[in-house]
Chains A and B, each alone.
Chain A
Amino acid sequence: MLWLQDVSITFNENTPDEKRALQAINLELPKGEFVTVIGSNGAGKSTLMNVISGSLEPDVGSIVVNDREVASLPEYKRSHFIGRVFQDPMAGTAPSMTIEENLAMAYARNKKRKLKPGVTKNRRQMFKEYLATLNLGLENRLKAKVGLLSGGERQALSLLMATFTEPDILLLDEHTAALDPSRAELIINITRDVVDKSGLTTLMVTHNMQQALDLGDRLFMMDKGEIILDVEQEEKQKLTIENLMQEFQKKRGSDFESDRAILG
């Protein structure tokens, strides 16, 4: 379960560049809920992800994961139970290390790292089985350096690394944005499968409104640091892109489309 209360963050306060990136965000995600997040550039979506993961500290507000206040916990401690995939395929893996070594690091995420070998025979077998679920043939390239993989392959690997220890929260920040349409679709399918199978509590940022409507149980629309629309289950199923844009106009009195929100 994820619970945010009055989470606010302002960059460059009291300067001409002042930016209220998050304004008193309140949200509650029950365990297993899959939420898609849309919003125009600069709406605060990535900032929200960063605040939850701990790579940014909010000015005020509390962040609770499974009844535990985590707002003051440094990022590396939070990542015991928060998994992440970044937009940049280069960001989520170590390029000069092998596939199996990368997986071994992800495997150690929710354990205390020790002075024993990271890749063992048993683990290698397990990694193979996990990799096989991606259907990319990566299970035969365990000893290949990750830097040699294509962006799509790296992103699939990142997704696997973020999820296979079944974190309490999964954060996906435009994790298909850097990929071509067919690869993006592949990654989205993998995402759907993993999230379904493990019942992960997930926040997924996307610029593709159709994707946001098709996937998940709930949808947030963000603008100017606020969640301006929160649609749940049945209501979300009836929603169309047309509705979304009207909704935005109604709330903000401006044209959503001109904010270049549709990129997918």
Chain B
Amino acid sequence: MLISLFGAIESGMIYAIMALGVYLSFRILDFPDLTVDGSFVTGAAVAAVSIVNGVPPAVASVLAAVAGFMAGCLTGILHTKGKINALLAGIIMMTALYSINLRIMGQPTLSMLNETTLFQQLESLWATTGIDTFFNGALTAMGADQTPSTWVIIAIMILVTLSIKLLTDYYLKTEIGLALRATGNNKKMIRSLSANTDFLIISGIGISNAFVAFSGGLIAQHGGFADVNMGIGMIIIGLASVIIGESIFGVKTIARATLAVIGGAIIYRIFVTMALRADFLETGDMKLITATLVVIALIAPKMVQARNEKKRRMKKKTELLQQKASEV
């Protein structure tokens, strides 16, 4: 239990980067971008192929992000210059990327079992520090019978994901970032304030998919393989993370919203892990679980609000009745 929870947080931190990408397109740009299903795999494929061919894992991870950026820019160009509907532009790119991803890998699945990935590199560095022994010692002292094999992934992912979050927060408050947000909020207005909305959409969707692909590259290294089908339903997972996070942690400011997205990604992973431990559910049910989660996250806050509102009205009504009764 502890171990699988630990694993859920670990991969949740990696998927959180993808979720931040989805947040950028869906929430900031108001652009329902389905490129994600394809670009996630593109990131995984580029990272895997590069590593298999001897590129240092850190560089391979950056290459993954660059590939995602290019894919996203293409979607943006299809939409702005080609005047193709946003959803359709994303679907077109997602479809095209499937073939491109296969070409990149040369085969449907590419294993990195015999390669050293970013995490393994860091793990061996980390092992010399003795931090693991310390934390695991602490866990055992608290009564845990099993301990995680390494803390390095969590440590490094907290560092990486939080840096990306902070950079995003900063970016969205710069002059360009403000214009980007206004592009998703009121295009007519920001165009009348001399911002090139086409450029902002193209680069924004580019950055969004760079995050997604970077996350894909890390997931591939975490799991030790890239698979051409690993991106199916990724957009829904991203959305689930965004929506769950927003409804639990709120969206008052940008910094709060991005933190909520990360939290949402981790909570989503924990949900899925728990669900899969139930005997009557199988791995294949995961998409159904995800869909259900999204529906709940979308509907629950509204139902709670409606109930509170109803309670409030009932209270007013009884107050009024009591008042009338006392007057009589």
Contact = CB atoms under 8 A, between A and B. Distances in A.
B256 interface: no
A101 B193 CA distance: 13
B306 interface: no
A91 B175 contact: no
A32 B197 CA distance: 30
B185 A97 contact: yes
B56 interface: no
Given A117-B173, A118-B174, A118-B175, A94 B192 contact: no
Nearest to A115: B174
Nearest to B182: A94
B182 A97 contact: yes
Interface string B171-199: 10111111101100110111111111100
A83 B171 CA distance: 26
Question: What size tier do the contact residues of chain B reach?
Answer: 20 to 34
Interface string A74-115: 111101100110100011111111000100111011110111
Question: What size tier do the contact residues of chain A reach?
Answer: 35 or more
A53 interface: yes
A114 B174 CA distance: 7
A52 to B, nearest CB: 12
A114 B175 contact: yes
Contact of B194 (A76, A95, A114): A76
Given A94-B185, A94-B186, A118-B173, A104 B178 contact: yes
Interface in A119-152: 119
Contacts of A113: 174-176, 179, 195
B186 A109 contact: no
B175 A104 contact: yes
A94 B179 CA distance: 10
Contacts of A221: none
Contacts of A79: 191-194
Given A76-B196, A83-B192, A116-B174, 14 more contacts: A79-B191, A79-B194, A84-B192, A91-B186, A101-B181, A105-B182, A105-B193, A108-B175, A108-B194, A109-B193, A113-B195, A114-B174, A117-B175, A118-B175
14 contacts: A79-B192, A86-B188, A90-B186, A91-B189, A94-B189, A95-B185, A101-B178, A105-B179, A105-B193, A108-B193, A113-B174, A114-B175, A115-B174, A118-B173
Interface of B: 170-171, 173-179, 181-182, 185-186, 188-197
